[in-house]
Amino acid sequence: MSTFKKFLIVIMLFAMLSACGPATTPEPVQEEPAPVEQEPVEEPAVPVEEVTPTEEPVVEEPEMEPVTIQVYYPVAVDAPITAILDGYVADFEAEYPHITVEPVYSGGYADVQTAIQTTIEGGGTPPALAVLLATSLYDLINADYIAPMDQYVAAMENGQAYLDDFLPAFMANSYYDDQLWSIPFQRSAVVMYYNVDKFADAGIEPPTSWQSWAEAAQALTTIDGDTTNWGLKFSSDWPYWLFQPLAIGAGQNIFVDDCTMAFNDPKVVEAVQFYIDLSKVYGAMPEGVQASWATDTADFSSGSVAMIAHTTGSLTGLLNQAQFTIGVMPYPGKEEGTYASVPGGGNFYIMKGAPQEQQDAAWKFIEFITSPELAADYSIQTGYIASRFSAFDTPAMQEYTAKVPQALQARDALQYAQAELAIQNLGQVRSIFHNYIQKAFNGEMSAQDAMDAAQTEAEAALEPFCQ
Amino acid sequence: MSVIKSSAKKQKFNVFPYILTLPTVIFVALFTAWPVILSIYKSFFLQRMNIAKFREPTFIGLDNYLDLFADPNFHQVLKNTFNYVIGTVPISIFLGFFFALLVNRKIFLKGPIRLAFFHPMVLPMVSAATIWLFFFTPGYGLMNSALRVLGYSGPENWTGNPDLALLSVIIVAIWKNSGYYMIFYLAGLQKLPGDVFESAQLDGANGWQILWKITFPLLRRTTVFITTIAFIDAFRTVDHIFVLTTGGPSQASTVLLFQLWQERFENQNVGLASAITVIFILVLLIFTVTNFLISEREEK
């Protein structure tokens, strides 16, 4: 009897174990046979739903095997990205019935990159397509994760025109070794938001130089009992991005190329000093490092703070909350009449480890989703800047910018933009820069000493990459 | 003779208990033991995923460890970690004990007060930290307003000030954990034998004496348990640091696990990250074993 019971228990245990088995090895899930059954169901629906005049599917269909691709997306702004992209995927699948797209949402940019890294290093097949930071370029190339896209553009009827249609600032991080590695998708920029009503009430014009910027911020700083209504707030908890336009406005970006930093260039040091002076000399901004990225938008839209440095990604939220007219402009530069900005956000990358037919399908999806119409639609729905010039000529966009002229102001800021910090060994060099610039902001070191130390350490950190 | 014989018979190898523990053993081996072995192994290699020529691991002996201990930044990180653990563990345990004593009595609004102490535990750390981000806001933030009422006039920029950044993440951790530890103490208190207290009262012991001579010693096992989980928790919770300070300013609030994440996923330095992992595991192991041995000895 008891041996029989034991026998039963052992069998149950093995059953449990085998049930647990697949959980420990998740990779096989990524194989692609599934769509075979799905395809015939979807096909009849196509002509009814869409009236797209493209002949491509008709030509390609007989030669095309069904293929399924995964697309990894980060969700980095306060917009229903998931629902919006699901809609685009449905439209895409209607136009290319042999391709099935599985969008995978897995957190922010860092999470998506970590997920892909872990998959590849664990021996798995990566997704064919991913949206990752434009600045991750060198890390992704060095790790051998991504494939260049030149052959796809060459095969296009009007490939160069396609590339030229993207805003140049957004293409700044797409090339390396004369090859094209990424296509802009959800892009933003650093801008300065200002409260137009406050400026009008005080009879001040929007600033056109560091001097007039600092004076405006000083004039608009008011003390109201216990609280100070600051003229300017400028967060520095993750400082490189918001700081870059200050350096560019002084005449020197913080880096020259992927192996050369300009941290202690006299113009960059001057920009660090200007940030410090805004509080120390002009009293127009709270002193020291401000870990206020998340709270600055609330302070601005409540009308307390007159100007903030922030991302264009916050535009939609600010417009919804503010009870006054919002102005969007690039940072004023040091010299009268100069301005500066820096782009940000994510690009499409095709993953090298995915099978060739998936990579090809991924390019089709990129082409589809970066069409002027969808680029315009995505911009309107999310607040990202439309990545292509022609997107601004679409009827939908024209209607939108007539109502929301700030979207055009945000785009126009980009003509003063230079490249976002994208270098070899990005993580480490960026940490070094953050360490020292924060020491300068907090008065632990002088601007010159801090930037000298940052330059020395960064050069050491780049040595193994750049010999 | 017969006694020996029967015990020998009892000790006859029985496969059944091993089969029962097999699933657990497999899981622990796969998800705990194997990664540890792998980390130890990889910590002796130079492997950097973002440098083409260093993608394939090369053996470098103890260089990763030597590099770490020669790096002043790593000393800073160890110091921060030490301060963080010392800052959070004793105070949150003490507060947990204090809260438990408080809500174990017959007091007005006992339910709501228990809930108030416990609710931070239910919130995910990221949400809790986001709420605190607003509490810490200089000027109108709740924390600063409250402190000002109490007469505080010091610096208000909690998360951006290098002297206060670590303290602010410690405050959030204490706020988050005290209520959780309270629950364990509360459970312990309610299991204590009533007659001991009665006889102590008959012997004329005052409340303070009862508390420190009877209640606290009787709760020793609970304290050992809470100390262990509090210690491990202090090492493994970094979510609020990401939200509040991102380890800054100038690394003033970077602790070991945060540093590990940076090395592995930002700097993609596999060897160095493995070495940090090994150090991390060693610290936890030493503490847990010491804690266990001390409590075992006291048991005897």
A295 closest CB neighbour out of B20, B137, B148:
B137
A291 closest CB neighbour out of B16, B50, B160:
B160
Q: What Cα–Cα distance (Å) separates residue A238 from each residue in A36, A419, B200, B249, B255? A: 47, 17, 59, 9, 17
- How wide is the angle at C-alpha A45 spanned by C-alphas A39 and A48, nearest 5°? 155
Alpha-carbon gap, residue B272 to A427, rounded angstroms: 14
**Percentage of chain A modeled with pLDDT above 70:** 86
Question: Please, what's the largest Cα pairwise distance for chain A?
Answer: 96
Alpha-carbon gap, residue B238 to A433, rounded angstroms: 22
Going by C-alpha positions, the residue among B251, B252, A135, A184 that lies closest to residue B263 is: B251
Task: Please write the tens of the pLDDT for every residue from A173-184.
Answer: 899 989 999 999
B246 closest CB neighbour out of A17, A121, A238:
A238
Alpha-carbon gap, residue A441 to B36, rounded angstroms: 41
B57 close contact with A: CB closer than 8 A: no
- Chain A (205-224) residues lying within 8 Å, Cβ to Cβ, of chain B: none
A288 closest CB neighbour out of B50, B137, B157:
B157
Task: Identify the residue whose tokens are 């872990």.
Answer: A118
B193 pLDDT band (50/70/90 cuts)? confident
Residues B169, B241 contacting (CB under 8 angstroms): yes
Average confidence (pLDDT) over A399-421 = 93
CA distance B266 to chain A (A): 5
Within 8 A of A436 by CB-CB distance, chain B residues are 250
pLDDT tops 60 at residue A2: no
What pLDDT score does B29 carry? 92
Alpha-carbon gap, residue A333 to A209, rounded angstroms: 5
- Which residue has better confidence, B210 or A417? A417
pLDDT tops 50 at residue A54: no
Question: Would you list the DSSP string of A386-421?
Answer: PSBGGGGGSHHHHHHHHH-THHHHHHHHGGGB----
Residues A92, A99 contacting (CB under 8 angstroms): yes
Domain range B65-299, CATH class: mainly alpha
- How wide is the angle at C-alpha B8 spanned by C-alphas B5 and B14, nearest 5°? 145
- Which residue has better confidence, A63 or B232? B232
pLDDT tops 70 at residue B6: no
A442 close contact with B: CB closer than 8 A: yes
Report the SS3 class of residue A132. Answer: strand
pLDDT tops 70 at residue A103: yes
Two structure tokens written together for B36: 């540890």
CA dihedral A120→A184→A339→A264, nearest 10 degrees, is 20
A55 pLDDT band (50/70/90 cuts)? very low
Whether domain A64-187+345-413 has CATH 3.40.190.10? yes
What pLDDT score does B288 carry? 84
Question: Would you list the DSSP string of A310-345?
Answer: EEGGGHHHHHHH-SS-EEEEPEE-SSTT-EEB-EEE
- Number of helices and strands (H, E) in chain B? 16, 2
B195 pLDDT band (50/70/90 cuts)? confident
pLDDT tops 70 at residue A270: yes
What pLDDT score does B294 carry? 81
Dihedral sign for Cα atoms in the order A111, A117, A119, A125: positive
A19 pLDDT band (50/70/90 cuts)? very low
- Chain A (269-288) residues lying within 8 Å, Cβ to Cβ, of chain B: 286-288
CA distance B159 to chain A (A): 6
- For CATH 3.40.190.10, list the domain ranges present in chain A: 64-187+345-413, 189-342+416-466
A62 pLDDT band (50/70/90 cuts)? low
Task: Identify the residue whose tokens are 């480490």.
Answer: A428
pLDDT tops 70 at residue B190: yes
Q: How many CB pairs under 8 A join A and B?
A: 123
pLDDT tops 80 at residue A372: yes
Going by C-alpha positions, the residue among A420, A249, A276 that lies closest to residue A337 is: A249
Tell how strand A129-133 and strand A227-229 pair up: unpaired
A244 pLDDT band (50/70/90 cuts)? very high
- Number of helices and strands (H, E) in chain A? 22, 16
Domain range A189-342+416-466, CATH class: alpha beta
A26 pLDDT band (50/70/90 cuts)? very low
pTM beyond 0.80: the answer is yes
CA-based nearest residue in chain B for residue A294: B133
Q: Do A17 and B48 touch (CB under 8 A)?
A: no
Average confidence (pLDDT) over A190-202 = 96
Q: What Cα–Cα distance (Å) separates residue B188 from each residue in B117, B193, B253? A: 17, 10, 35
- Which range, of A33-42, A348-357, A427-436, averages the lowest pLDDT? A33-42
Task: Please write the tens of the pLDDT for every residue from B157-184.
Answer: 899 999 999 999 999 999 999 999 999 9
What pLDDT score does B154 carry? 79
- Which range, of A105-114, A405-414, B182-191, averages the lowest pLDDT? A105-114
What pLDDT score does A24 carry? 33
Task: Please write the tens of the pLDDT for every residue from A28-47.
Answer: 333 333 333 333 333 333 34
B34 pLDDT band (50/70/90 cuts)? very high
Q: Is A326 left (phi over 0), alpha (psi -120 to 50) or beta?
A: beta
What pLDDT score does A33 carry? 34
B262 close contact with A: CB closer than 8 A: yes
